[in-house]
């Protein structure tokens, strides 16, 4: 299979690389330390068209195919250093915009998708709970129908973008005994009575992507806020996860490429024992391993994109890509630090931050253990 980009796709990726380098990467050490979300960067990405990539033109997007979308997200990771901002954009697209596109009513699509595409609305997703993480459908957030309204009560955690979000995709159960068949999805606007953003959560990495709890206390919404059919919220959520697992790590592939190039430059210029350290086999071998990981990770991501374009992508395909890319990203980040030695451990070198960001990739969108379960199920083991 040939996953080379077309001239148009390559040109678009080159443009977003320039955007990321020139507009999204300034003052990252301070912003990472202060956990500062870049609204300016968010707006610049929206002006470029990033947030609207997978959304049809009739709803304010550009209608880009999966390969083009992946290419742009890869370019953001390669050109920029604000992985938190890129993560926030991913969360916004895959768990908010896509569910509305796939399961929303025409009224919901017309109302919400254009501002989600142009960046005037920021989306968030409330599904994880203190006792419902990997076992997400054991959630305790309850929803009760009362005539033409629904009333939600519960607490969500790990809600990316919540402190800055305008629109929340929220999931709740009508009856825990029904399991996945009792789940309902809702689109809830900021400011809705009973919806409250809770404590901000500090993270090891992706620190420029804000995260907090989301609290629902007799949060009352109209039936028109329901996303998809009643009791079919699990289907909506699974759709968002399929897209997220397929595309969210494209930017990580870009970071892996940047890491590799940075390490090659370093081992050519850094000298020990009167030789560039790249001449030592132990160092060169790490570079080779980084190269192999990057190439195979990129192939897996673009293969999934190709399958999506053919409507052939399966849960197992996306899980394999998510598992391999995330674990490869962590290992390459460790190698990058080791290659830079003590300097790589220092904040000012901006190498250690990639490792802190990379660790999260083995956890969000389903842990590596969950991805292995999905793959095993696909193999009918």
At residue 184's C-alpha, the angle toward residues 180 and 187, to 5°, is 140
CB 93 within 8 A of CB 54: yes
Q: Name the helix (H) or strand (E) containing 186.
A: strand 183-189
User: In angstroms, rounded to a whole number, what is the distance separating the alpha carbons of residues 217 and 153?
Assistant: 5
DSSP string, 262-293: HHHHHHHH-EETTEEGGGSHHHHHHHHHHHHH
CB 46 within 8 A of CB 117: yes
**Tokens representing 188?**
């809830």
Is 106 among the residues known to form the active site?
no
From the list 23, 213, 244, 352, the catalytic residue is: 244
Cβ-count burial 109-145 (b if 16+ within 10 Å, e if not): bebbbbbbbbbebbbbbbbbbeebbeebbebebbbee
CB 63 within 8 A of CB 56: yes
Q: What is the largest CA-CA distance in the chain?
A: 80
Active site residues: 244
């Amino acid at each position: 299979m040939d996953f080379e980009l077309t001239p148009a796709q390559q040109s678009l990726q080159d443009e977003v690389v320039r955007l990321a380098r020139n507009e999204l990467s300034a003052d990252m050490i301070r912003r990472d330390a202060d956990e500062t979300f870049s609204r300016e960067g968010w707006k610049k990405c929206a002006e470029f068209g990033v947030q609207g990539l997978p959304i049809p033109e009739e709803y304010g997007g550009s209608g880009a195919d999966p390969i083009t979308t992946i290419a742009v997200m890869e370019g953001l990771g390669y050109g920029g250093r604000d992985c938190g901002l890129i993560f926030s954009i991913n969360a916004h697209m895959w768990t908010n915009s896509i569910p509305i596109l796939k399961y929303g009513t025409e009224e919901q699509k017309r109302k919400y998708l254009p501002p989600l595409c142009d960046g005037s609305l920021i989306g968030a997703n409330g599904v994880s709970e203190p006792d419902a993480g990997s076992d997400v459908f054991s959630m305790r957030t309850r929803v009760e129908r009362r005539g033409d309204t629904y009333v939600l009560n519960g607490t969500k955690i790990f809600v990316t973008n919540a402190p800055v979000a305008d629109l929340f995709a929220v999931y709740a159960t009508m009856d825990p005994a029904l399991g996945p068949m009792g789940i309902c999805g809702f689109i809830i606007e900021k400011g809705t009575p009973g919806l409250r953003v809770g404590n901000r959560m500090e993270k090891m990495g992706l620190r420029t992507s804000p995260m907090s709890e989301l609290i629902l206390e007799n949060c009352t919404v109209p039936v028109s806020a329901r996303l998809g059919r009643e009791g079919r919220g699990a289907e909506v959520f699974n759709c968002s996860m399929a897209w997220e697992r397929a595309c969210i790590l494209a930017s990580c592939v870009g970071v892996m490429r940047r890491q590799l190039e940075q390490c090659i430059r370093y081992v050519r210029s850094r000298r020990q024992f009167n030789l560039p350290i790249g001449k030592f086999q132990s160092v060169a071998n790490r570079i080779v391993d980084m190269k192999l990981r990057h190439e195979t990770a990129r192939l897996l991501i673009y293969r999934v994109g190709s399958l999506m374009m053919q409507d052939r992508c399966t849960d197992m395909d996306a899980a394999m890509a998510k598992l391999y890319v995330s674990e490869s990203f962590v290992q390459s980040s460790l190698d990058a630090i080791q290659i830079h030695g003590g300097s790589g451990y220092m904040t000012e070198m901006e190498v250690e931050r990639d490792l802190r960001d990379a660790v999260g990739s083995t956890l969000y969108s389903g842990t590596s253990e969950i991805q292995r379960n999905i793959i095993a199920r696909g193999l009918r083991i």
